[in-house]
């Protein structure tokens, strides 16, 4: 959020006041260790997020998490603490940001505030892995076929398309060490999205965004064909539809420039 | 047809029982439906399928597992665990085997993956709680180039770095130092990482 996902952070900060939502950053948060921690040390993979859990308890508010990995590890730490102590460590709820912002009340507010309907924008929702799986940790019910991104896109009057790869893996944990494996996984996602008739992805995880966005040029070269599939954060599309003036600025930070597509659809 | 040579295995129970003790995962619940392997997106890069890992764990084939490629190319997407009809946390078994491989100083099949994870954690520890993406990428690139100098990869990385920088998506300075820096150090110390 402070680095490669600066565009995600800016769009979250941009749209929340439009939904009469006030978000406060969890003070003094630290990194949960992500896949590196649970791969190398079981203990570390619980103790790092447990620290954030402690901070959240002090803050006394619901925890809304924009990063799928952070969400997953926080929930894992919560479950572990429940197992150890027999009681819940937090009397508030841990949300993943997409779930939080697609609660019926927010969708109703949003519907009233759509000033620029995203008509004609054909998109596939891509949820990735860790916001959904494993359900024993995430407490999700529709983990194989989540629907809230599609619900959101419908409210924004875009055209969400059905496809079978919405929770397939982009290989985030291997990005650094085995980009070749990531390329295979991501190319599969491009091809399946195109087969579904999509012209863009909508994501809720900055690792998914990074993998789909940053490797598009490289994969195009390998494949010998030009892929053009912009990768939007769902919050960016909310901002676009509500007419947030910074939207173009957020979008200018993507490597695959979404502006030509939006211009073509008359949305920018 | 190429028929693989079958070697008799000497089953041993120590692996399964240690796994059950430390993680409460019971590999003996597996009835070999292979649903884990059917849904795994990374089988194309594996030397053992996920169901074979579970089978070999049940048979106590520690050495074969600790030296396998599969445990390191597993992307931890947790599809296998999610779909196992017998509630076996297969992704958890992969994690346990990785940690065990390092503890036992086994020959790691994918040193790049293990190193990337280690650098990631060291970066958090060094910066006192938050990750410096820039420092991590640089350090890993140097490590990779030392192992196998590759000019194209260096140029591609430089190009990507520049593109991100131009779009203000790379923070060059250190991450902010948090108040809980001391806590982070003790967490790492306790975990022995």
Q: Which pLDDT score is estimated for B148? A: 87
Identify all chain B residues contacting A174, using CB atoms and an 8 Å cutoff: 73, 75, 113
Residues B21 and B97 in one domain: yes
pLDDT of B4 higher than 70? no
Q: Which pLDDT score is estimated for A25? A: 94
In chain A, which residue ranges form alpha helices assigned H by DSSP?
A: 6-18, 34-40, 42-59, 68-85, 97-101, 104-113, 135-138, 148-155, 179-195, 206-214, 216-223, 234-242, 247-251, 259-264
Cβ(A53)–Cβ(A81) below 8 Å:
yes
Q: Domain ends where: A44, A77, A99?
A: A99
Residue B132 in domain: yes
The model's pLDDT over A219-260, given as tens digits with 9 standing for 90+, comes to 999 999 999 999 999 999 999 999 999 999 999 999 999 999
Structural domain range at position A121: 104-264
pLDDT of A264 higher than 80? yes
State the smallest CA–CA distance between residue A108 and chain B in angstroms. 33
Q: Domain ends where: B103, B136, B161?
A: B103
Q: Which pLDDT score is estimated for A263? A: 96
The model's pLDDT over A69-116, given as tens digits with 9 standing for 90+, comes to 999 999 999 999 999 999 989 999 999 999 999 999 999 999 999 999
Structural domain range at position B58: 14-103
B169 with A28: Cβ contact below 8 A: no
Q: Domain ends where: A57, A74, A99?
A: A99
Q: Tell me what percent of the residues of chain A surpass a pLDDT of 70.
A: 100
Residue A236 in domain: yes
Q: Which helix (H) or strand (E) holds A202?
A: strand A200-203
Q: In whole numbers, what is the pLDDT of chain B averaged over residues?
A: 92
Residue B5 in domain: no
Q: Domain ends where: B103, B125, B159?
A: B103
A133 with B170: Cβ contact below 8 A: no
Indicate which of B47, B50, B71, B78 best probes the interface with A, i.e. most A CBs within 10 Å of its own CB: B78
Please confirm whether the linkage preceding A134 is cis (ω < 30° from 0): yes
Q: Domain ends where: A99, A129, A146?
A: A99
Q: In whole numbers, what is the pLDDT of chain A averaged over residues?
A: 95
Residue A15 in domain: no
Cross-strand bridge partners of residue A201 = A124, A231
Q: Which helix (H) or strand (E) holds B23?
A: helix B14-23
Residues A167 and A113 in one domain: yes
State the smallest CA–CA distance between residue A101 and chain B in angstroms. 24
């Amino acid at each position: 959020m402070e680095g490669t996902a600066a565009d995600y952070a800016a769009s979250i900060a941009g749209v929340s006041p439009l939904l009469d939502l006030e978000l406060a950053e969890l003070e003094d948060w630290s990194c949960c260790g992500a896949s590196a921690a649970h791969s190398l040390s079981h203990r570390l993979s619980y103790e790092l997020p447990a620290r954030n859990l402690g901070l959240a308890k002090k803050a006394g508010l619901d925890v809304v998490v924009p990063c799928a990995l952070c969400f997953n590890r926080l929930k894992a730490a919560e479950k572990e603490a429940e197992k150890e102590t027999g009681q819940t460590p937090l009397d508030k709820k841990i949300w993943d940001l997409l779930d939080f912002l697609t609660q019926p009340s927010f969708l109703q507010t949003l519907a009233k505030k759509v000033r620029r309907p995203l008509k004609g924008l054909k998109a596939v929702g891509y949820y990735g892995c860790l916001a959904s799986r494993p359900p024993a940790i995430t407490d999700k019910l529709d983990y194989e076929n989540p629907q809230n991104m599609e619900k959101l896109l419908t409210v924004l009057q875009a055209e969400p398309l059905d496809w079978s790869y919405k929770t397939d893996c982009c290989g985030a944990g291997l990005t650094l060490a085995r980009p070749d494996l990531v390329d295979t996984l991501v190319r599969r996602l491009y091809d399946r999205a195109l087969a579904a008739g999509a012209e863009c992805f909508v994501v809720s995880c900055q690792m998914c965004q990074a993998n789909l966005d940053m490797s598009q040029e490289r994969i195009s070269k390998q494949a010998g064909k030009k892929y053009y599939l912009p990768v939007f954060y769902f919050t960016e599309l909310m901002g676009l539809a509500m007419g947030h003036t910074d939207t173009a600025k957020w979008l200018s930070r993507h490597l695959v420039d979404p502006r030509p597509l939006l211009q073509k659809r008359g949305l920018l | 047809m190429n028929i693989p040579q079958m070697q008799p295995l000497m089953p041993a129970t120590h692996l399964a029982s240690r796994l059950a003790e430390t993680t409460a995962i019971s590999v003996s619940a597996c009835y070999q439906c292979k649903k884990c392997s059917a849904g795994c997106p990374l089988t194309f890069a594996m030397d053992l399928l996920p169901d074979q890992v579970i089978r070999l764990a049940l048979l106590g084939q520690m050495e074969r597992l600790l030296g396998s490629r599969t445990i390191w190319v597993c992307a931890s997407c947790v599809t296998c665990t999610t779909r196992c009809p017998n509630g076996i946390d297969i992704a958890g078994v992969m994690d346990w085997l990785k940690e065990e491989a390092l503890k036992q100083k086994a020959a790691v099949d994918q040193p790049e993956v293990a190193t990337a994870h280690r650098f990631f954690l060291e970066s958090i520890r060094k910066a006192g709680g938050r990750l410096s993406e820039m420092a991590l990428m640089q350090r890993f690139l140097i490590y990779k180039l030392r192992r196998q100098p590759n000019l194209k990869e260096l140029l591609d990385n430089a190009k990507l770095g520049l593109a991100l920088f131009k779009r203000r998506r790379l923070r060059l300075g250190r991450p902010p130092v948090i108040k809980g820096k001391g806590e982070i150090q003790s967490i790492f110390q306790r975990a022995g990482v």
